[in-house]
Amino acid sequence: MRCGLLGRTLGHSFSREIHEKLGRYSYELIEVPPEGLDAFLTARDFDGFNVTIPYKQAVIPYLDGLSDRARAIGAVNTVVRRGGKLYGDNTDFGGLEALIRRMGLELKGKTVLIAGTGGTSQTAKAVAESLGAARSLRLSRSGRGGAMTYEEACASCAGAEILINTTPAGMYPDVDGVAVDLSRLPRLEGVVDVVYNPLTTRLVRQARARGIPADNGLYMLVAQAVLAAEAFTGERFGGELTDRIWRELLSEKRNIVLTGMPGSGKSTLGKLLAQQLTRPLVDIDEEIVCRAGMPITEIFRARGEGAFRELESAIIREVSLTGGKIIATGGGAVLRRENVDNLKMNGVCVFLDRPLEELLPSAERPLADEAGKLRELYARRYPLYTAAADVAVRVSGTPEHTARVLLEALK
């Protein structure tokens, strides 16, 4: 059986990995420019395929039949060939519904704002209405097609409780995008972002910083893929498989970011974890030395701490854009909020909490080359480490023991 994903630009997609975990068929990424869409769809040489931006509506005229749900929504993300004919369905509906339920969000009686006007926005509107939303409003910059502008929505719907982003704002590689200014929606109770790459978009990070429950679209992606696989194969898989694949994918794609005081064991533990998990290791301090062409002590002496921090931030930003790595940070990485924000884009921050009495001064660390400096540094930075940490691990015993404790904490 030959299946795949139809889209225009698919370098960011995780779909092949998800379908390969099902192990029922081959699955390809099918990048087709707009001028090639007609030829692809008329050839009909796939048994089934998913559809993503920008073709969820464009494929409809080529189909011989639509499910009631796909017809009502006006968007298709799953196509199956049966007897030489093409039939379209919308498994995004079930995927988004599964994500919202998993987040524990209550939409009944609420005002739901939906950023975007594409095919996924229509799906989001249908899901919101099925879950009892009092109002579901689609938003766009222009306001065309019956949508409200973002300015109108912030002015007249500031009391909205739920926001669903269906735009590509914030999607890799343009990770800085944010569809909506959350400060103008003070009563939000939940934010759902269908973007799944990066694992935690800027919109989701901003929402969580405000104490608003928020999540990205990875669970939705997996749930809709499992539903599509059921359509491709005629088998029934269920929610347990969705949960398992989601956990596996999240673990594989997430960076493990090690933070902590100079001498806490970040580099040693990073090398051990990289070996155990067969992942690449990025040691930020080593990368700084490599790019600067001189030791850290010399960078401080010749260029000053400010230049060192600028280079550190640039490297952190670069390595944080993609996942699947072990990242050992320098002791001062948490001093800048932008660094922590970038590290959390695709990573879980682990604070290696080694007791002060076990930390030793080092001539290789300009800010911690004396016992007195080390004590002062510890007092200043400890609150920053704990604030940045998603997980804190007490460092004790051998590196192997600490690695076991850390991996258990990440399960």
Would you please indicate which residues are annotated as catalytic (active-site) residues? 56
Q: Are 49 and 3 in contact (CB under 8 A)?
A: yes
Residues 6+ apart with CB under 8 A from 40: 6, 30, 32
Q: Is 183 exposed, middle or buried (0-12, 13-18, 19+ CB in 10 A)?
A: exposed
**Contact status, residue 137 vs residue 157, Cβ threshold 8 Å:** yes
Q: Report how far Cα 80 is from the mean position of its chain's Cα atoms.
A: 29
Report how far residue 208's alpha carbon sits from residue 58's, in angstroms, rounded to the nearest whole number.
35
C-alpha to C-alpha distance for 282 and 267, rounded to whole angstroms: 9
Detail the DSSP E strand segments found in 99-189. 111-115, 135-140, 148-149, 162-165
Pairwise CA distance, residues 337 & 343, whole Å: 10
- From the number of C-beta atoms within 10 Å of its C-beta (0-12, 13-18, 19+), residue 129 rates as middle
**5: which DSSP letter?**
E
Q: How far apart are CA 411 and CA 407, in angstroms?
A: 7
